[in-house]
Amino acid sequence: MPEIQFRQALRAAMTEEMERDDSVFLMGEEVAQYNGAYKVSEGMLKRFGPRRVIDTPISEAGFSGLGVGAAMAGLRPIIEFMSWSFTLVCLDQLVNNAANIHYMSGGQIKCPIVFRGGNGIAHQLAATHSHRVESIYARIPGLVVVCPSTPYDAKGLLKTSIRSDDPVIFLESEIILSDRGEVPDEEFTLPIGKAHVERPGAEVTVISYGKSMARFTRPAVARLVEEDGIDVELIDLRTLRPLDTLTLIESIRKTNRCVIVSEDYGYCGMGDAIQARLHKEVFDDLDAPIEVVHSDEIPIPFNHHLEEATMPSVERVIQAVKEVTYR
């Protein structure tokens, strides 16, 4: 299987879907002539032309709303945000319009749209550019929230997201765009709403997603297995809404211990929300309280060392797993 970058996997998914279906188009800041702020859409203008790969001015509310309107008319827009942090200026278009149209029209009008871009803490972008928006969007009925951690998942999940008749919030990370992984050339898709048990284990369930999975959780679990001999069951959520609680509950009922790793904040954050969903279901099965590893509850600082210290880390994940396994 060829090894490609995360950004190439995203590009492959978009390209294949645009070739398959003329109603799919890509729109966003710098996606066309500049070839993408992070080079995700490199070469796509040349391939598809300006009708289907469209640059926008810096007007997030304007072009995200354009996407919603086009989706209401039956097109399948892919709207790229340079950063999910910028969607705070167009929240109304996503939360009020995209999420509600199908429900509020009594099921008459669908909204098949994908919003995608980099989410979370990148590298020294300071507080305004480091928002983790998953808990903002995952709490909204009417939205689907997908967050892949590998190039393989990115391609399979983006293709399904484009084909879905619902509005999909697709969360990437600038930090892992250059990560490489095996991705088959042939056609495949991955299911939305299904978590992936990446490593079966018996002693503790570790749950994560996206960049937190790629950068903190996966390396921490490798060390815990190798150096400490802890038999971890590692689960990649892939989809944050709808949450695959069934897979999580089954796993915790087997391991009796659980750690959730998310770069989001703790209070009202994604990790806490998942924990709250699980707690009642697995209360009698737990041998230790569920641990949530999250970012410190402060605006994200610019200074490199302060920023590093604010985020979850491999060490923090290892410590949390040892805590719930009493090691």
Partner 1 sequence: MAVADEVAKRPSIRKTPRSDGSVELGYLRMMMLIRRFEERTYREYTKPGQKIGGFCHLYSGQEAIAVGIAARFDKKRDYLINGYRCHGHSLALGMSPRAAMAELFGKATGCSKGKGGSMHFFSAENRNMGGHGIVGGHIPLALGLAFSQTYRETGGVTYCLFGDGAINQGTFSETLNLASLYKAPCLFIVENNGVAMGTQVERSSAEKDLALRGSGFNMPHFHVDGNDLDQFMEGIADAIKRARTGGGPSFIVANTYRFRGHSMSDAMKYRTREEMEQAKLRDPISLYEVSLRDIGLLTDQQAEALEEEVSAEVEQAIQQADADPQPTMESRFEDALAETYPLEK
**Residues whose CB falls within 8 Å of the CB of residue 182, separated by 6 or more in sequence, listed in order:** 1, 2, 3, 151, 152
**Could you tell me which of 196, 131, 123 has the C-alpha nearest to residue 157?**
196
In the bound state with partner 1, the residue whose beta carbon lies nearer, of 3 and 165, is: 165
In the bound state with partner 1, the residue whose beta carbon lies nearer, of 97 and 255, is: 97
Q: In the range 180-199, which residues lie near partner 1 by CB under 8 A?
A: 189, 191-194
Q: Which of 60, 80, 174, 291 is catalytic?
A: 60
Q: Which of 102, 129, 131, 196 is catalytic?
A: 129
Q: In the range 236-275, which residues lie near partner 1 by CB under 8 A?
A: 239, 242, 244
d(CA 89, CA 321): 38
Binding segment (CB under 8 A) for partner 1, from list 97-105, 229-237, 251-259, 310-318: 97-105
305 is catalytic: no
Q: Which of 35, 39, 42, 96 binds partner 1 (CB under 8 A)?
A: 96
Let me know: does 276 contact 113? Beta carbons within 8 Å: no
Q: Which residue has the tokens 């507080």?
A: 127
**Residues whose CB falls within 8 Å of the CB of residue 48, separated by 6 or more in sequence, listed in order:** 18, 26
Q: In the range 4-63, which residues lie near partner 1 by CB under 8 A?
A: 25, 51, 54, 56-57, 59, 61-63
Q: Which of 16, 30, 139, 163 binds partner 1 (CB under 8 A)?
A: 163
Let me know: does 317 contact 263? Beta carbons within 8 Å: no
Total residues interacting with partner 1, rule: CB under 8 A: 54
Indicate whether 164 belongs to the interface with partner 1 (CB under 8 A): yes
d(CA 259, CA 321): 6
Residue 256: left if φ>0, alpha if ψ -120 to 50, beta else—which one?
left
Indicate whether 299 belongs to the interface with partner 1 (CB under 8 A): no
30 is catalytic: no
CA 251 to chain centre: 22
**Sites of contact with partner 1 (CB under 8 A):** 25, 51, 54, 56-57, 59, 61-75, 77, 92-93, 96-97, 101-112, 141-142, 144, 160, 163-166, 189, 191-194, 239, 242, 244
